Homo-oligomer: A and B are copies of this chain.
Amino acid sequence: MAKAPTVYDVAAKAGVSIATVSFAFRQPHRVKDSTRETVLSAARELGYLPSGSARGLARGRTGVLGVFSFDYYADDEAGSAAGPLTAAADRNRDYRYYPVYGDEVQRGMALQCRARGYALLTGSATEMSGNAQRIQDLAGQVDGLAIFPNVVSDEQLRLIAQRIPVVELSSPGEVRAGGQAHVSVDNESGMRALLDHLIRVHGFRRFTFLDAQTSSPDFRGRSHFFAEALAESGIDAEVASHIVSDDASPWAAAEVDRLLADPAGLPDVLVCVHDEIALPMMDELERRGISVPGDVAVTGFDGIVAGRLSRPPLTTVRQPMEAIGRSAVDMLIRAAEGSGEAQTQVLPVELMVRESCGCSG
C-alpha cells in the first residue's frame, strides 16, 4: 500500500486549509460550492480515504457498536492449523443447530446498526485465556457494547461500563449489579404458559426438568419458575442433575440411561431449559427407540431455527431474538448519544406449540 494521502495532501492539492477539507466532507453546506468541488475532486484524484482512528480520536466517538460473545461451535484448531481449507472440512462441522440463539440476536444487532448508521464490531471469547485483553481492546474501539452472559467477569464488566454504555444480553442476576442495563425476556410468563399447556391440555403430572451445566440468570429463572408453577399446581417435579453441555452425545446418552434406570418409569415430559438440550435429547431418545412424544414428551426454550425443523418439531417458548438485538442497539445508541442511561428492558416471549409435546401438527 502506498502511503496514504491525508487531509494535508488534499488541502495542499486543492489550495485550501485542512479545515476546509474537513468541512467539505462533514459539513458540505458550510462550504462554497465551487470550493467543495475543488476539494472533492482533489480528494478523488489522490485517492483520499479519511482515517477512522483519527476521526474517532478527534470526535470522541467512533460510530461503532460492539458485541462480545462466546462461540460454542468455534474450533480453534481449524484456525491455527492453517491446513487446506476444503469443502469436506466444512461439512464435517456440526451445524445441526446453527444458527443458534446468539447468532440470531447478533443478526438483530447488525440490522439495527445498519438502520441507525452504525457499524458493528464483533469479538468473541476463546477457550484460552486472554479474553480480558480481547474484550478491553474491543471496548476501547466502540461507543457501546453488548455482552452475552458468562463471557466476561463482573469486574471486567464494571470497568467497561464505567467508560461506555454496556448492556448485557440476559436477565439481570438475582442480585442486581448496580444499574447494569439488560435486555432480556419474560422467562416467567414463558415457563408458565408452557406448563399451563402441558398440564391443562395434556394432563401431564410427572415432570422432569433438564438444566444446563452452565448457569445463567435466564436459566436459573426458568428453573425457578418451573418449580414454582408446578408447586402451585400441586405437582411435584424432579429436577435432573446438571447437564454437561460441552459435548453433545455423551451427556444425552448418560441422561437417557438415567431416565431408563428409574424404576418409576419415564416421566410424562422432559422440560428442557433450552432448545439445545432438548434437540440432542430427542435425537438420543429416538436412537434408543423411545418415541417422542409417544413415550415421553419433550419441550425446549428459546425457539432456535433447528427446533422448527426437527422431527418431531419442537414445542418451545420463542424469544424474539432479532428484537432483543435491535433493542440492545437502540439502548446503546441512546445512552451513547447522551439521551439518558441504558435501562433494563424485558421483552415478551411466545409459546410455540408444535408436536414434541404431543400436539398434532
> Apart from A49-B136, A54-B57, A91-B350, what are 16 other A-B pairs with CB-CB below 8 Å?
A53-B55, A53-B141, A57-B57, A71-B111, A86-B347, A87-B349, A90-B320, A90-B322, A93-B322, A117-B134, A119-B123, A119-B137, A119-B141, A120-B121, A121-B122, A122-B122
Tell me the smallest distance from the CB of A103 to a CB of chain B, in Å: 7
- C-alpha spacing A50/B107, complex, angstroms: 28
A52 touches B140 (CB 8 A): yes
How many chain-A residues does the 8 Å CB contact rule pick out? 83
Give Cα A153 to B132, complex, Å.
Answer: 39
Q: Separation in Å of the A330 CB from the closest CB of chain B?
A: 7
Determine whether the beta carbon of A115 is less than 8 Å from that of B80.
yes
A356 at the interface (CB under 8 A from B): no
Within 8 Å by CB of A62, from B47, B53, B89, B95, lies B53
A–B complex contacts, Cβ < 8 Å, 30 sampled: A1-B163, A44-B159, A47-B162, A49-B159, A49-B163, A51-B57, A51-B140, A52-B56, A52-B140, A52-B142, A64-B121, A66-B119, A75-B111, A78-B111, A78-B115, A85-B320, A85-B323, A86-B323, A87-B318, A87-B323, A87-B350, A90-B320, A93-B322, A99-B103, A103-B107, A110-B124, A114-B124, A114-B126, A119-B138, A120-B122
Chain B residues lying within 8 Å of A327, measured Cβ to Cβ, are 85
CA distance A101 to B89 in the complex (A): 17
Q: Which residues of B contact A4 (CB under 8 A)?
A: 163
Whether A115 lies near B76 (C-beta < 8 A) is: yes
- Known contacts A99-B99, A111-B74, A326-B79; is A119 also within 8 Å of B119 by CB? no
Q: How far is the CB of A97 from chain B (nearest CB, A)?
A: 11
The answer on a CB contact under 8 Å between B50 and A140 is yes
Q: Which residues of B contact A347 (CB under 8 A)?
A: 85-87
Considering only residues 4-50 of chain A, those with a C-beta below 8 Å from chain B are: 4, 44, 47, 49-50
In the complex, A348 has a CB within 8 A of chain B: yes
A338-352: CB near B (< 8 Å → 1, else 0) gives 000000000111100
